Amino acid sequence: MFTKVSINGKTHYVTLDKTSVPTQAERKLSLSNGQAISFTLASADFDQPDENSFVNLSDVSRRLQALMKSVSSNFVERETMVEAFILGLVSNEHSFVLGPPGTAKTSVANQLTKGIGGSLWRIVMNPDVTRDSLVGTIDPIAYEQGTWSRKWSSLATCDVAIIDEVWKSAGNINILLDALEERRVREGDEDRPIPLLSAISMSNELPEDGERQAIYDRFLIRLHCDYITDLNNFEAMLVSSATTTEIEKMVSIGELKLMSACAELLALNAPKDLIDIFKELRMEIGQNGRTVSDRRWKKSLKLACAHALLYDHAPSQVDAKICVYTLWQERDEIADIKMLVMGLSDPFTSEILSAKAGLESLEKSLNEVDPTDLMAKSELSSKADELSGVLEKLMRDTRASAAQVEEMQEIQNALLDWNKRLLKTVSRRS
């Protein structure tokens, strides 16, 4: 199984089978912790790899987007979660969801795992969780025969892991670090590679002590999820059939590993405009007194390239938008990081976010305004009119996608509802 990636006009081959690398390869590069290798050919006269094992990344991208759309359609207000988890699979990185239980995290992960034909393992962490619970029990037959070996299972054998209440474990930190970072588990002299593609952790709290901070840093993709608040969406959730919907396998695990290796290769040769966005983000975040580990910056660049592969385009500055998932550390940083990242990587989307923030500000002001203060209400009405004008201009912009126009129309409708409530308060005063 191999694929081709064009970088600066030169073809690079990426394969999961090292034995298939031709002897005439000009350059070899180990990728994905040694699970893949890339190479170029010294001359066009040499035989190219067998086309029968060629993987078309554009076709994989199309199927991944179909899987993302299929799973998203089964849940309400979970499109961002679905995209984040798929990016974790494409990049072979791990995700952390901050939020309360009962927000479909496990169900989404389960459907995506079915979509890749993988095995899913889940554990709820607590102080009593042992090494046996994480990677398998000691083999009793071997023990009776005087040897010490483990019957590997669970985290050591799954493709996708769900680690619920991740911070509640009293120990076993080193096991998790090895598994998450190196994709290996160790027992005595045995050093065993594991097939883990992506782990998804969940908690309603953030870690405080140093040991758990080390684990936290291994979860590259982070998102915040809460309960549904919109009543129409709440109604749709009540009658949804997500738990009974069958998902077909659309992408293979080998294809995902190959795509992850390609993302890493592209990151090593990232375009200047994308690198420049990362440099600006580093400077802005540093000026605010915040720090992000070098590992997260490097892996964020790989995730940006994985995003480009997922949506089948060459890496560019717009792919830096994935940093909304990777650069926040505390809950109160999420909104600021999102505005900063989108402002630099995707200014148009940033304007939509600003409009949404403007509506939220109007809602807050309406709740706090003195019902007898007509001057203040007049000022709020003027701000609403100004925001409506901005939205109309944005909706006419040729850069707006159909989904963005729909999103802006929803903001506009909410603004109309806001105006009606403002008029009611004025009428009551009269």
| pLDDT at res. 178 | 87
- pLDDT, tens digit, 9 for 90 and up, residues 312-363: 999 999 999 999 999 999 999 998 999 899 988 888 887 888 888 888 889 8
| pLDDT at res. 430 | 47
Token pair for 405:
């126009």
How many Å apart are CA 31 and CA 299, to the nearest integer? Answer: 13
Full DSSP string of 84-144: HHHHHHHHT--EEEES-S-SSHHHHHHHHHHHTT--EEEEE--TT--HHHHH--B-HHHHH
For 107-111, 181-185, 322-326, 399-403, which range has the lowest pLDDT when averaged over its residues? 399-403
The stretch 294-299 carries a mean pLDDT of 95
More confident residue, 350 or 69: 69
The stretch 126-139 carries a mean pLDDT of 86
Instruction: Spell out the CATH class of 347-429.
Output: mainly alpha
The stretch 125-132 carries a mean pLDDT of 87
More confident residue, 366 or 71: 71
| pLDDT at res. 144 | 67
Beta-carbon contacts of residue 67 (< 8 Å; ≥ 6 apart): 86, 112, 115, 116, 247, 250, 251
More confident residue, 131 or 48: 131
Name the band, by pLDDT with cuts 50, 70 and 90, for residue 47. low
How many Å apart are CA 27 and CA 129, to the nearest integer? Answer: 46
Q: What sign for the dihedral angle of Cα 319, 303, 78, 336?
A: negative
> Which of 79-93, 184-198, 362-376 shows the highest mean pLDDT?
79-93
- pLDDT, tens digit, 9 for 90 and up, residues 134-157: 988 887 676 666 666 778 899 999
pLDDT reading at 210 higher than 80: no
Beta-carbon contacts of residue 349 (< 8 Å; ≥ 6 apart): 321, 342, 404
- Classify residue 417 as exposed, middle or buried by CB count within 10 Å of its CB (0-12, 13-18, 19+): exposed
pLDDT reading at 256 higher than 90: yes
| pLDDT at res. 170 | 67
For 25-39, 40-54, 94-108, 311-325, which range has the lowest pLDDT when averaged over its residues? 40-54
The stretch 276-282 carries a mean pLDDT of 95
- pLDDT, tens digit, 9 for 90 and up, residues 98-121: 999 999 999 999 999 999 999 999
Percent helix, percent strand, percent coil in the chain, to nearest 5: 55, 15, 30
Full DSSP string of 387-417: HHHHHHHHHH-TT--HHHHHHHHHHHHHHHH
Q: Round the average pLDDT of the chain to a whole number and report it.
A: 88
For 16-20, 269-273, 382-386, which range has the lowest pLDDT when averaged over its residues? 16-20
More confident residue, 51 or 412: 412
Asked if residue 265 lies in contact with residue 133, where contact means CB atoms within 8 angstroms, the answer is: no
More confident residue, 241 or 8: 8
Task: Give the domain 58-244 fold.
Answer: Rossmann fold (3.40.50)
Name the band, by pLDDT with cuts 50, 70 and 90, for residue 406. confident
Q: What sign for the dihedral angle of Cα 395, 397, 406, 333?
A: negative
More confident residue, 210 or 300: 300
- pLDDT, tens digit, 9 for 90 and up, residues 414-426: 999 998 888 877 5
Q: What is the CA radius of gyration of the chain?
A: 25
Domains of the chain, by residue range, sit at: 2-54, 58-244, 253-345, 347-429
Chain position carrying tokens 């072979």? 92
pLDDT reading at 9 higher than 80: yes
The stretch 84-111 carries a mean pLDDT of 94
For 189-193, 302-306, 392-396, which range has the lowest pLDDT when averaged over its residues? 189-193
Q: What is the pTM of this model?
A: 0.84
> Which of 182-196, 200-214, 271-285 shows the highest mean pLDDT?
271-285
For 27-31, 143-147, 292-296, 363-367, which range has the lowest pLDDT when averaged over its residues? 143-147
